[in-house]
A and B are shown apart, each in its own frame.
Chain A
């Protein structure tokens, strides 16, 4: 019965035959402007950077809104709550961008895969927290947007019970969104992006990433 060492000789022989039959499409190299291609990590960094830039604009706009409406307590508080969320999102996206730029695939596998998985966990948590805080703070966001764009004060004459009810609705929205993602995530759309977001929200991707990190640590141990 052959074992791994005995099969190595057959593996080598197979390799020699493969070397003769494998062809690298050199024309593709000549046709492709290799200097213009971006690796997947670099694209991740670019998108994270662009998103961070957008959130930074929101941070600045909200800061300005707070300064102008300091005397209107409800609006200022709403804008402050939205601003804290925006600052959190900006920081998380800058961390993602820095993380992606820092990874060097030429490094040792165990260490690099830990970095990749940690970055994945950061992405998932950013999405989960974005949806969570977006759901909880949807009334403040709406109030600031309505006043900022249309000059309509949502709080003027608003029933406190209505406001409380909507905050509670927002609190319930996150677990509901997670449940829907878990149950119907695969059917939500054919787009891999939508499916990925659904899995991120459902938590299955986070569990998988944390399990893989644990496996990496076990792999490194003797």
Chain B
């Protein structure tokens, strides 16, 4: 395998959690998640030659993964659907959903109901990115990020209150 492909694979493997979280947040069923994962990986590879090592790989990967995911979700109604065999899946995970704490289940459902853009914001915030990094990925100001995160928090409080 060529050296750059090996390096790409190693970086992707170290950040596979980002791939999983984005696919899980933007797609409801397993085959769609796999479809999206493959599209993201292809796009990451096509852009890898232009990756500037001065920047964090995770930030770069988040930008690409979220852009591909949002475009993918926007095409949902007219996309070809097909079954994918287990051997052809890029991403697999143990059946962790069953062992989630209840609050996390509520959080996942809250994220699922967000629109494509606020979903990206929520994912970036929950993953511990700074307001500056989130602003850089989304292409909005830091003040705007802070305002939107406050709105998300209030919205989430109202939802959790309503579920009790």
Which A residues fall within an 8 A CB radius of B?
Answer: 1-5, 7-8, 10-12, 14-15, 17-19, 21-26, 28-30, 34-35, 37-42, 104-113, 116-117, 120, 192-193, 195-196, 199, 205, 212, 215-216, 219-222
- Least CB separation from B64: chain A residue: A105
Residues in B whose Cβ lies below 8 Å from that of A3: 153, 156-157, 160
Q: Interface readout for B85-100 with A: 1 if CB under 8 Å, 0 if not? A: 0001111111010001
| CB contact under 8 A between A222 and B147, given known A24-B13, A25-B92, A105-B67 | yes
Looking at the assembled complex, report how far the CB atom of B96 sits from the nearest CB atom of chain A, in whole angstroms.
6
Q: How far is the CA of A28 from the CA of B90 in the complex (A)?
A: 7
Whether B42 pairs with A220 at a CB distance below 8 angstroms is: no
Does B9 reach chain A (CB closer than 8 Å)?
A: yes
Residues in B whose Cβ lies below 8 Å from that of A221: 144
Dominant SS at the A interface?
A: helix
- Shortest beta-carbon contacts, A-B, top 5: A108-B139, A21-B94, A196-B78, A110-B139, A105-B67
Residues in A whose Cβ lies below 8 Å from that of B92: 22-23, 25
Does B104 reach chain A (CB closer than 8 Å)?
A: yes
Q: How far is the CA of A165 from the CA of B161 in the complex (A)?
A: 66
Looking at the assembled complex, report how far the CB atom of B31 sits from the nearest CB atom of chain A, in whole angstroms.
15
Q: How far is the CA of A125 from the CA of B148 in the complex (A)?
A: 34
- Least CB separation from A120: chain B residue: B74
Does B20 reach chain A (CB closer than 8 Å)?
A: yes
Does B16 reach chain A (CB closer than 8 Å)?
A: yes
Q: How far is the CA of A4 from the CA of B5 in the complex (A)?
A: 38
Q: How far is the CA of A3 from the CA of B158 in the complex (A)?
A: 10
Residues in A whose Cβ lies below 8 Å from that of B112: none
Contact of B93 among A22, A41, A219 (CB under 8 A): A22
Whether A26 pairs with B147 at a CB distance below 8 angstroms is: no
Looking at the assembled complex, report how far the CB atom of B115 sits from the nearest CB atom of chain A, in whole angstroms.
7
Whether B160 pairs with A1 at a CB distance below 8 angstroms is: yes
Residues in B whose Cβ lies below 8 Å from that of A110: 117, 138-140
A–B complex contacts, Cβ < 8 Å, 29 sampled: A1-B160, A3-B153, A4-B149, A4-B152, A7-B104, A10-B103, A11-B127, A15-B17, A18-B20, A21-B94, A22-B93, A23-B91, A25-B89, A28-B88, A29-B1, A34-B8, A35-B2, A39-B39, A40-B39, A106-B67, A108-B137, A109-B70, A109-B117, A110-B140, A113-B67, A113-B71, A192-B79, A195-B78, A199-B78
Whether A104 pairs with B103 at a CB distance below 8 angstroms is: no
Whether B63 pairs with A106 at a CB distance below 8 angstroms is: yes
Does B47 reach chain A (CB closer than 8 Å)?
A: yes
Whether B67 pairs with A112 at a CB distance below 8 angstroms is: yes
Residues in A whose Cβ lies below 8 Å from that of B130: none
Q: How far is the CA of A140 from the CA of B70 in the complex (A)?
A: 43
Whether A109 pairs with B67 at a CB distance below 8 angstroms is: yes
Does B43 reach chain A (CB closer than 8 Å)?
A: yes
Q: How far is the CA of A7 from the CA of B107 in the complex (A)?
A: 8
Residues in A whose Cβ lies below 8 Å from that of B107: 4, 7, 10-11
- Least CB separation from B161: chain A residue: A1
Residues in A whose Cβ lies below 8 Å from that of B45: 34, 37
Interface residues of B in 30-68 (CB under 8 A from A): 39, 42-43, 45-47, 50-51, 60, 63-64, 66-68
Whether A219 pairs with B9 at a CB distance below 8 angstroms is: no
Q: How far is the CA of A192 from the CA of B81 in the complex (A)?
A: 9
| CB contact under 8 A between A26 and B126, given known A14-B100, A192-B78 | no
